């Protein structure tokens, strides 16, 4: 059986088992023990193994990609198309989200009693994100893109800084004499292959890990919450689905000149991984492999667009932010003016760049935007209980958006594969 089918099976089996346990036994101490000591750790080991290779993968593929482009002017053009696509897709996503939440108005039906109960239950989690929100986005975010110490940046998971360092290595390589550049190019090429070999091994365990991850979510989930937040969840998931299926298909067809059905067929293993892990970073290795091998995007472009996208391009997250901010306003009976809604659009686009590609990465930034438009920051507690389910859906849209951008850049700035300096350099030994 193909791997993506096995993963799908793991996902369904995990979801069904978790829901049955939840609805029949409830969250008894034994169930809680099993989730905390068995299923969650198993899932986390697998996630860790994927994230383990992200830094070497970003450094090797990005530096190689840029070096393979051969010149800074080519990099500049690709960079511009990439950023234009990121910003364009993210803006369309937020606007769609805002339209949906203004039409459905899911917050109007929430009873103040339910609101207060939700806030009391999830207050603790909200407070712990509050500290993160304070420093989430500011001048330092931009200053720290240029790391003083790249090793420290890598150790702290500061992806933008790692990306910057890798870009600089790639640019510098294009300026060197071939005999000086070749040893590092060979090393990076080998490193990229090693990380990909590790990922292939780790992905073999995906069906079991996905079972454990999804079981942990559904076994613990408060399904009663689902009812009170049903319209809110339907608005988020419905808009994400429309954007994923219709929005991306139109863009793929008209802008990237690709067949959407073929795209989604090839992208399904990436989308399943994103859905199960709720993490763009953990999905990055798979996204990169599929974009190159299945979608046929040249490594120079995929190696540049995909790592950047995993960090900067979060279409699904921006859509979710827009809906959630207006939903919280509706729950509190406050209405946002058109001007405030435009600020929501702008801030959702900007903050989506700063969101870390990890589960729940957007929550601190979302709290920041709430404060900016004058809404009660504690309101975030209302949605925290269902966030994991929404996170799974928005992360799927986030990574699909990275692949869509890679196909757009490929259409406008396509370069012939394979990377020029490496195939020549690695020839006789490989």
Residue numbers of the site for ligand ASP (CB under 6 A)?
278-280, 314, 317, 355, 357-362, 391, 394-395, 398
CA distance 389 to 275: 9
Sign of CA dihedral 392, 282, 58, 186: negative
Nearer Cβ to ligand ASP, position 14 or 357? Answer: 357
Backbone angles phi, psi at 422, to 5 degrees: -80, -45
Which letter does DSSP use for residue 379 in this model? G
Nearer to ligand ASP, 219 or 274 (CB): 274
Beta carbons of 240 and 319 less than 8 angstroms apart = yes
Q: What is the dihedral of CA 187, 189, 193, 198, to 10 degrees?
A: 50
Q: Which is nearer to ligand ASP, 189 or 387 (CB)?
A: 387
Least CB distance to ligand ASP at residue 204 (A)? 23
CB nearer to ligand ASP: give 268 or 411: 268
Residues in CB range of 326: below 8 A, 6 or more apart = 98, 101, 102, 107, 336, 341, 344
How far is it, in rounded angstroms, from Cα 378 to Cα 370? 9
Least separation, in Å, of the C-beta of 276 and ligand ASP?
Answer: 12
**Would you say 106 or 357 has its CB closer to ligand ASP?**
357
Q: How far is CA 15 from CA 43, 143, 390, in A?
A: 14, 43, 15
**DSSP assigned state of 378:** G
- Judge whether 388 and 174 are in contact, CB under 8 Å: no
Nearer to ligand ASP, 68 or 359 (CB): 359
C-beta of 321 vs 410, nearer to ligand ASP: 321
Contact yes or no for 40/214 (Cβ under 8 A): no
Query: Closer to ligand ASP at the Cβ: 66 or 314?
Result: 314
Query: Count of CB atoms within 10 A of residue 114's CB?
Result: 16
CB of 363 to ligand ASP, least distance (A): 7
Taking the complex as a whole, the smallest distance from the CB of residue 358 to ligand ASP amounts, in Å, to 6
Minimum CB separation of residue 120 from ligand ASP in Å reads 24
CB of 2 to ligand ASP, least distance (A): 25
Query: In the numeric block, which tokens belong to residue 346?
Result: 């702008």
Return the sign of the alpha-carbon dihedral for residues 407, 411, 417, 419.
negative
């Amino acid at each position: 059986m193909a791997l993506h089918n096995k993963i799908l099976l793991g996902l369904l089996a995990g979801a069904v088992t978790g829901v049955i346990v939840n609805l029949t036994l409830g969250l008894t101490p034994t169930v809680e023990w099993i989730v905390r000591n068995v299923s969650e750790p198993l899932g986390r080991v697998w996630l860790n193994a994927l994230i383990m290779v992200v830094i070497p993968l970003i450094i090797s593929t990005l530096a190689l990609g840029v070096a393979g482009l051969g010149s800074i002017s080519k990099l500049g053009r690709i960079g511009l198309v990439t950023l234009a696509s990121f910003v364009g897709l993210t803006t369309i996503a937020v606007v769609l989200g805002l339209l949906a939440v203004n039409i459905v108005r899911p917050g109007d039906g929430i009873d103040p009693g339910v609101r207060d109960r939700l806030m009391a239950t999830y207050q603790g989690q909200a407070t712990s994100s509050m500290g993160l929100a304070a420093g989430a986005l500011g001048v330092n975010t931009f200053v720290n893109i240029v790391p003083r110490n790249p090793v420290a940046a890598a150790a702290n998971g500061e992806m933008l800084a790692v990306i910057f360092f890798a870009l600089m290595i790639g640019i510098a390589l294009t300026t060197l004499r071939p005999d000086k550049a070749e040893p590092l190019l060979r090393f990076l090429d080998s490193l990229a292959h090693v990380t990909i070999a590790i990922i292939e091994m780790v992905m073999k365990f995906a069906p079991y890990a996905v079972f454990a991850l999804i079981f942990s979510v559904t076994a613990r989930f408060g399904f009663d919450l689902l009812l009170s937040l049903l319209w809110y969840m339907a608005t988020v998931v419905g808009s994400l689905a429309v954007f994923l299926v219709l929005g991306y298909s139109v863009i793929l067809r008209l802008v990237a000149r690709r067949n959407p059905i073929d795209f989604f067929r090839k992208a399904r293993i990436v989308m399943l991984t994103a859905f199960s892990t709720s993490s763009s970073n953990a999905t990055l290795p798979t996204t990169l492999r599929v974009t190159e091998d299945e979608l046929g995007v040249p490594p120079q472009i995929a190696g540049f667009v995909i790592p950047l996208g995993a960090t900067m391009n979060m279409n699904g997250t921006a859509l979710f932010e827009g809906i959630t901010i207006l939903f919280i306003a509706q729950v509190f009976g406050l209405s946002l003016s058109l001007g405030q809604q435009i600020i929501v659009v702008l801030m959702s686009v900007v903050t989506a760049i700063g969101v870390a590609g990890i589960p729940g990465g957007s929550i601190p930034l979302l709290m920041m935007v709430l404060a900016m438009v004058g809404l009660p920051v504690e309101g975030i507690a209302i949605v925290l209980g269902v966030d994991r389910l929404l996170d799974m859906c928005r992360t799927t849209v986030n990574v699909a958006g990275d692949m869509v951008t890679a196909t757009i850049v490929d259409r406008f700035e396509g370069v012939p594969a394979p990377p020029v300096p490496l195939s020549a350099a690695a020839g006789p030994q490989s």
